[in-house]
Amino acid sequence: MRLSTKGRYAVMAMADLATHEAGSRPVSLADIAERQEISLSYLEQLFAKLRRNGLVSSVRGPGGGYRLSRPSEEVRVADIIMAVDEPITATRCKPGSAKGCATQGARCITHDLWEELGRQIHVFLSSVSLADVVEKRVLGRAQLDLQSSEVPAQDGDSRAAA
Amino acid sequence: MRLSTKGRYAVMAMADLATHEAGSRPVSLADIAERQEISLSYLEQLFAKLRRNGLVSSVRGPGGGYRLSRPSEEVRVADIIMAVDEPITATRCKPGSAKGCATQGARCITHDLWEELGRQIHVFLSSVSLADVVEKRVLGRAQLDLQSSEVPAQDGDSRAAA
DNA sequence: AGATTTCCCGACTACTTCAGTCAAGAATTC
DNA sequence: GAATTCTTGACTGAAGTAGTCGGGAAATCT
């Protein structure tokens, strides 16, 4: 799961689409571009990918635009991000790669860590639907349950987090 | 919290340091560079930042090298990544920024989502200590507790995750 | 003292990716 | 057929990544 502004733009656009999808009229990219302040040409790229991945369907001609293929409750944020972001080079841990991971044939020391982090991110973003985003319900669905955090609170915690 | 290969290299190097920190001898960057297949000059950059953030201490001269400032149980992975990665522009959601977020003065639709994701990542990486990484104990410390995942399993799940 | 080993620091650079532009074309409606 | 809207591909400027290079400074050893 790759996290870039491209994915964020896509989620913003999809949320806008879900919000303004009233009645039967599709939503034009021009409208989304104006409301979300994203360039039209860039949106076109994003929606081309979203369409190929079956998340939206298009209607051409005047009055045309895009529509969600499924109700917003059934669209996961993870789906959107995976649709627009390239498959990613998987923490550069491919068996063939010379550097980074796969040192001496074995997986590198930190391999498990990044794999687990990727899984955590994926689980979280899969637990949030587009409807959740629109209705500002991003908490509560998935919650990290820290058991026995033995790591003491450190002094240097004034650094910018998140 | 920014996630880049730079941060990954830093964690790899710190894990290597924690592993080979036997007795009282510091570990030289040349050794780490060879074992982890990271260029020496690049390691020097990373360790300069790690040192400024108080994660390691240095010993000069022959037989010199680096040492962990604290025991590996007390070093959180999040600390390492924050030390080497720049403070980051916080999901481009600054009040002053013209684009992206802060549309019409209000926070953008997806603001809460990314903020929460950032928090989840930070919590996870704070829950894992360097000792956990070295001893391959990255699971079980923090575990996502999904309550009532109503999102149905979708067809297209063969896509590369993580 | 002098040589060697190691950390220390700044400048420079090839490369890739990101974010976005530009231009042309095809389908649909009026 | 003219306007609208999606569709596609090529192109580009800026930024960040992953380094390299070169010269130092402190500590140790002979």
Closest CA–CA distance from residue B61 to any residue of chain A (Å): 29
- Backbone angles phi and psi of B103, in degrees to 5: -65, 130
> Which of B14, B50, B97, B110 should be substituted to probe chain A, the one whose Cβ sees the most A Cβ atoms within 10 Å?
B110
In this prediction, residue B157 carries a pLDDT of 34
| Residues B148-159, mean pLDDT to the nearest whole number | 35
**Residue A122 CB in 7 A reach of strand D:** no
Q: State whether A144 and B142 contact (CB < 8 Å).
A: yes
Instruction: Quickly give A38 CA vs C20 C1' distance in Å.
Output: 10
Q: State whether A109 and B15 contact (CB < 8 Å).
A: yes
**Residue A65 CB in 7 A reach of strand D:** yes
Listed in sequence order, the residues at least 6 apart from B77 whose beta carbon sits closer than 8 Å to its beta carbon are: A113, B11, B125, B126, B128, B129, B130, B133
Higher pLDDT, A113 or A100: A113
Instruction: Quickly give A126 CA vs D27 C1' distance in Å.
Output: 55
- A6-39: pLDDT as tens digits: 888 899 999 999 998 876 689 999 999 988 888 8
User: In 3D, which of A67, A80, A66 has the Cα closest to residue A130?
Assistant: A80
CA distance A153 to A8: 31
Which pLDDT band, with edges at 50, 70 and 90, does A67 fall under?
very high
In this prediction, residue A87 carries a pLDDT of 60
Which pLDDT band, with edges at 50, 70 and 90, does B30 fall under?
very high
- B65-120: pLDDT as tens digits: 999 999 999 999 999 998 988 665 444 454 333 334 544 445 578 888 888 888 88
Q: State whether A103 and B37 contact (CB < 8 Å).
A: yes
In this prediction, residue B3 carries a pLDDT of 79
Nearest to B151 among A87, A119, A129 (CB): A129
The closest nt to B43, taking CA to C1', is D19
Nucleotide D26: closest residue by CA–C1': B60
Tokens of A162: 């998140």
Higher pLDDT, B149 or B45: B45
Q: How far is CA A118 from the centre of its chain?
A: 12
- B68-81: pLDDT as tens digits: 999 999 999 999 99
Is the per-residue pLDDT at A55 higher than 90? yes
> Residues 103-162 of chain A: which lie with beta carbon within 7 Å of strand C?
none
Higher pLDDT, B156 or B57: B57
Nearest to A134 among B37, B91, B109 (CB): B109
Range of lowest pLDDT (A7-21, A73-87, B17-31, B144-158): B144-158
Closest CA–CA distance from residue B100 to any residue of chain A (Å): 7
Is the per-residue pLDDT at A134 higher than 60? yes
Q: What percentage of chain B exceeds 90 in pLDDT?
A: 42
Q: What percentage of chain A exceeds 70 in pLDDT?
A: 70
C-beta of residue A121 within 8 angstroms of C-beta of residue A88: no
CA dist list (Å): B66 to B72, B84, B143: 14, 16, 33
